[in-house]
Structure formats: structure tokens, C-alpha cells
Amino acid sequence: MDWKTYHTTTIKQEFLYRFLPMHRLEQFLRSGNIWFSRADKFGDKLECVKIDDFSNQKLNYEAIRLRKKKTLISCWHLANIESVAMWDTYVSKNEDRRTTAIKFNRKNLVELLSTSEFQTKESSDIKYVHGKVQYKNLVNVNENRLSRAKVKYAAFRKENAFKYESEYRFTVKNDSIFKNEGINFKIGNPNNIDFNILINPLLDKEEIDERTDKINNLGFLDKVQKSNLYNWFHANE
């Protein structure tokens, strides 16, 4: 599988984090699947927007939505240590709270995805790209500033307000609409993959112990790594 790289030459961070609710972690540990979501399922209305879309007085959201349906994205946080901000953003339901995270060496994950099979019945004219998101000012700016915000791949640009996400993406672009809302990408047997599991340090000790027990019962206790933020939030324990 031929993955193209984008905006990676200046990367200094070593790790990729994916923050997950407990049930999503369990799915990964049982299957070894990485979920790629269709871009129209994200909350950002300007996801995959192109600079040319701003040339009209009113954005054509239907055209943008159609573009999103042709794009699958797996989102990761690029960093050397975890971010407290990433544990609890974008949560609408308690069961979807990001109480765990999986942590990969970036180069290792790229290799795993490059050598794995992507199962889809869609068109064979598919482009695979991975790299770092660029953050640009897109809202309430003049045409000159907009022209400087152009990027090669629309899925790798987001509004500057999201810069704290430090996002790294794996994208799959099709020439036609993906019929499913997303596709699982199997990267291998989790027992044989080098990665770590972190538990949200904002949880109380009982909740952390509960999740640790669940991970132990699944046979992955050796993968659990103590959060760098644990001692800060549990200093009195």
C-alpha cells in the first residue's frame, strides 16, 4: 500500500496518541482495528474545506459535505507527552468520555498501517496520505490572508483555533462516496504490537483501578503506562 507523506519533515515529536472511551479501547484490544471515520461525521463544518470555497459570498456546504463523504480520516495527537486538554474535549455523553488512550511511536504506527490491508469494496482509485495538520486562519480574514492558507490536501488544514490539538492524520481519499460511515483498518494482533495504554489521570483512583482491572482481564496489563500527569492530580493520595 502506497502511503504519501505530507508536512512531516519538521516533526520533532516522537509519539502519536489516540484518546478513547473505554469501550473503544476494548474494541481495539480485541480486534487490532483502527477506525477511519468518514469526514462528514466530524463536528467541524469546515472540515475538508478548500480556499476556493470561500470565493463565493456564501459557502456551498452541500459541496463540502459531498467532499467529506469521499474522505476517511483517523485522527491522532502528535506529542512527546500527553495533553490534559485532550482527555475531556468533545464529550457529549458520559460513556464517550475519553478515559483511556493508546500511544504509539509515530514511525512504528506508520509502518503498521503501511503494511496492513485496507478492506473496502469501494473504488480502487484511492489515495492514502498521512501527516501533520496545518492550522490557518480561515474565518473573518481577507482574500490575501486566505490565499496564504492554501494547502495541498484540504483534509490537512484546520482553523487556527484548533491548534492545541496538534493533530496528525491518516487519510483515505476516494473518487466516489464511501457508502459506510467509516471503515476499520486492521494493523495486526494487539498482543504482538508495540504500544502503550494510558488511563485518564483526571479520574478518581477507584475509576482508574476499575479500568486497570478491565485491561488486566483482557490480558494487556503490561501495556499500561502511568500517566505523566497522574502525580499532579493525585498528589494527596
- Tell me the per-residue pLDDT of 101-135, one tens digit each, with 9 for 90 and over: 999 999 999 999 998 876 555 556 789 999 999 99
* Cβ-contact 139, 54 below 8 angstroms: no
What is the tens place of the pLDDT at every residue in 152-208?
A: 899 999 988 899 999 999 999 999 999 999 999 999 999 999 999 999 999 999 999
- CA 137 to chain centroid, in Å, comes to 21
d(CA 7, CA 89): 25
d(CA 171, CA 117): 15
- β pairing state of 100-105 and 15-20: antiparallel
User: 0.75 cut: is pTM over it?
Assistant: yes
Taking Cα atoms as reference points, which of 154, 228, 219, 232 lies closest to residue 190?
A: 219
- How large a percentage of the chain has pLDDT more than 70? 90
Please identify which residue in the block is written with the cell numbers 484546520: 158
Type of residue at 109: L
Backbone angles phi, psi at 172, to 5 degrees: -125, 115
The H or E element spanning position 232 is: helix 230-233
Q: Please state at what angle helix 205-217 crosses helix 22-31, rounded to 10 degrees.
A: 20
Residue 54's pLDDT band (cuts 50, 70, 90) = confident
Residue span of the structural domain in which 31 resides: 3-233
The total number of structural domains that make up the chain: 1
d(CA 41, CA 27): 20
